[in-house]
Structure 1
Amino acid sequence: MELAAAQARPMEASELAEAIARGLDYLHQHQYPNGEFCSYFAPDAAMQEWCVPDSCIFPTALIAGSLLFLAEHPPADEILTRTTGFLQYQMNRGGLWHHFTGLHPLRGPLPLDMDDTACVSALLRARGIACPMPTNVPLLLANRNRQGLFYTWFVARGWYANRTHWRITLPRLAHPLRNLVLWRSVEATPGDVDPVVNANALYYLGDLPETQPVIAWLLRLIAENQEAGCDKWYPDAHVVYYFISRNFFRGITQLEPARQPVIDRIVAAARPDGRLGDTVLDTALAVCTLLNWGAWPSELRPAVQFLLGAQLPHGEWPRWLVYYGGSKKLVGWGSEEMTTAFCLEALARYQAIIS
């Protein structure tokens, strides 16, 4: 690995720095004044059939999470500062978040959710922001099933002792018809328990006695080779690998048994042009995942070179769906901004290795 790094340094250092600077400039110019980033929903993975802007919280949180690795760059720091202000403004009672912003017509009907809450809370903590205050951890821990896994949605279930949970969920019971229409019109149920949502809850909460069932579940999914399609919102295996591996990088070493199987599966998908998977997004997520596991296979450098070559003239990378609205994959969300953030994370972390 040291020899490879020494060979790569004179050829790639300037290319990496230029690509990162251009990508950051693109995101800096394309962030909305309120701190939000554009996201679209579309019916096809390449987002070419039709593409509609959608005001969501989650894409902005994911973009900012990737930019944490570039926080020493002034443009990234400015982006993160605006983003945290936007996310703080979108917070709901108890320190919870919706998927949609306050501008969205589905903000009212859709319940608060664990995925957005965990990712936003982790980001704010990483930026040194005590929000919510006091902590929302007891509320999140109250939103688990009898097996100790986290529910995706915060809804009334009938046995919680947490008073804040009741204050948040009981008002929804006053709109039974609206709730019925919602659950019949979306690919979701009040009792959803999703693996990647649990992985993101683990990322925020960390290694606690209460999160051990999540760790065991994630290990079992990888051991049984069930990662592709295991989560209705994240059917692509590369996305699943990314979110699980973040926990290992964060220090949850109990996930070690999943390390080598995931590395082997990523490397097995390498293409002659350097791609790790089928797309630019797959490749960026795969590079980040390998680095999260502390792996530097020979396929890593060609993958980075592929990303450098795929950057578009204005500094962005092409949009691709990151997550879906259900298992039927009728619609999903993505944007140039989201792909660009994942690519920047991959390049910045690779740059840190070879510098």
Structure 2
Amino acid sequence: MSLFNRILNKASVDDNFRSRLLDNPKAAITQEFGLRFDEDQDIVVHEETDSTTHLILPPKDKLSVTERSEAKTGAASLDFLKKTMYDPAPPKRPSVSPKERVRLESDDTESLVNTARKSIVRGLNFLQTTVNETGAWHCIRFNVGDPNIPRHFERPPFISAFCALAIQRSKEPVARELYKQTKNYLVDTMEYPGFWRYYRHLPQDLDSSSLCSMVIDTHPWIGLGRNLPRILANRDNNGLFLTWVLNEDEPSVVSPFRMEADPVVNANIIAYAGDLPATKTAQQWLRELVEKDTNLEDASKWYPDPASIYYAIARATVRVQLGSEKFPLILAERILSLRDETSEFENVLQAAQAIVALHNIRQLHNLNVLHQIAYFVDSQQEDGSWPELLAFGDQSLRFGVVGQIGHGSESVTSAFCIEALECLLEALETEGSSGRVNVSRD
């Protein structure tokens, strides 16, 4: 049950709460349910009687009737795309090979921790130069198969939420300021009652909407669960959540073969919505994907790396218990199996997502924490960034003339590397002395 319905139910049986709710809605909701709303957001409660009826009008559409019509018919698709993308993006910089791994002596743990903290600050300072004045993060759209095809900047809300959730863990002042700016941007781009779209010419989608909702969870529309009914209703015949929200007034430019349920999208919805009857089937699906050791290489239409799937599932487990007490152990085994014969992950982005996932399921002791810290410190580039890598892309277009469309940037990789370093340092601080964290110097 959404918070909105819980409030209505309580107000119908508790006269004291009803009175407080009418007098000071925000204070009453915070006191009773613990949810704090943004200071610049007002809540007004209206009480109907048998002689007074209130009609609540939703806010006006941010697109005009003409723009909405052109988007629906596809006539404005290219125009919307040009407005969303910034052309061109610079060529991809060659990745700098990590320097020789820091040699860990018996007394250098404190020094490495201090170096890691400085690395986080350098990374955040780099991000501050890439997030624009509105709080929008950027990504680069490119063709995976043909690097000669022009690369484009893009700033969809999804990217901002994707990265903001990664730096949310950091308590550094720069991270707090970036997160605040991003929240403002996501509020500005939100459509009633809490939905977002990747490009303006595409339908609203649940991947963007669930991630953005988690970032601005103190906005009343989100805190009260105003978008939950539509999100929870957007399921296929098997009960799994579909990526796109295809209403009659939405653009019909998404081909049917791209409508299938995606494990990362379903995990993100669970992380936002929580343990509800409508999410039970998705929970079971994700649990079976992990427990049956399913080959996840082609399991997601949008996320090519299995680490991304495990990352999203692990985040969902913070909100919902997926399976028995053994589930985290099984998930950890799947994550660790991504390493090569030298016990290294494929690249720094995969390592970052794997480490955060292990941290979320309390299985980070399976890795040598000090060596992982050294790896991220050594992989950082001179300007404070980490290399651009493929973060996600439309896997349904991997064949044919168009080729596979990829998305990624140094900003995206950097946000996840910062999150991983914060997890590693947190593990050292909270569990290092307990013996639960591997800090051997072998």
TM-score of Structure 1 vs Structure 2, range by shorter chain: 0.7 to 0.9
- Hey, what does 2:179 align to over in structure 1? 80
Q: Which structure carries more relative contact order (alpha carbon 8 Å, separation 6+)?
A: 1
Partner of 2:419: 345
- Partner amino acid, structure 2, of 1:347: L
- Alignment match, 1:90: 189
Contact 1:43 1:331 in 2 (8 A): yes
TM-fit CA distance, 1:7: 7.1
Q: Which residue of 2 aligns with 1:113?
A: 205
What does 1:96-175 align with in structure 2 at a 5 Å threshold?
96-100=195-199, 107-108=200-201, 110-125=202-217, 128-132=218-222, 135-155=226-246, 169-172=247-250
Do structure 1's residue 336 and structure 2's residue 410 form an aligned pair? yes
CA RMSD of aligned residues (A): 2.5
> Structure 1 residues 144, 270: CA separation in 2 closer, same or farther (over 3 Å shift)?
closer
Q: Contact (CA 8 Å) 2:314, 2:357: kept in 1 or not?
A: yes
Q: Which residue of 1 aligns with 2:387?
A: 318
Q: Is the aligned partner of 1:262 residue 2:338? A: no
Would the alpha carbon gap of residues 214 and 304 (structure 1) be closer, same or farther in structure 2, given more than 3 Å must change? same
1:23 and 1:340 in contact (8 A); partners too: yes
Amino acid aligned to 1:327: S
Q: Label 1:271 to 1:303 Cα distance change in 2 as closer, same or farther (>3 A).
A: farther
Question: How far does residue 302 in structure 1 lie from its aligned partner after superposition?
Answer: 2.2
- The AA in structure 2 aligned to 1:61 is A
Within the candidate set 206, 230, 248, 2:274 is matched to 206
Q: CA, structure 1 residues 255+38, in 2 after alignment: closer, same or farther (shift >3 Å)?
A: farther
Alignment coverage as a number of residue pairs: 317
The answer (yes or no) to whether the contact 1:323–1:333 under 8 Å persists in 2 is yes
TM-score, L = length of structure 1: 0.82
Length-normalised TM-score, structure 2: 0.67
Work out whether residues 56 and 99 of structure 1, in 8 Å CA contact, stay in contact via their aligned partners in 2. yes
Q: How many angstroms apart in 1 are the aligned matches of 2:273 and 2:307? A: 23
User: 1:340/1:248 Cα in 2 relative to 1: closer, same or farther (>3 Å)?
Assistant: same
Structure 2, unaligned runs of 5 or more: 1-103, 399-403, 430-442
For structure 1, which segment, 202-211 or 290-299, has the greater mean C-alpha deviation from structure 2 after superposition? 290-299
Structure 1: runs of 5 or more not aligned? 101-106, 156-168, 173-177
Contact (CA 8 Å) 1:46, 1:321: kept in 2 or not? no
Q: CA deviation at 1:299?
A: 3.8
128-137 or 234-243, which deviates more: 128-137
1:333 partner SS? strand
Higher helix share: 1
Identity across matched positions, percent: 27
Output the CA distance in 1 between the equivalents of 2:331 and 2:145: 23
Deviates more, 1:198-207 or 1:50-59: 50-59
Counterpart for residue 12 of structure 2:
none
What is the distance in 1 between the residues matched to 2:164 and 2:355? 18
Residue 44 in structure 1 maps to residue 44 in structure 2: no
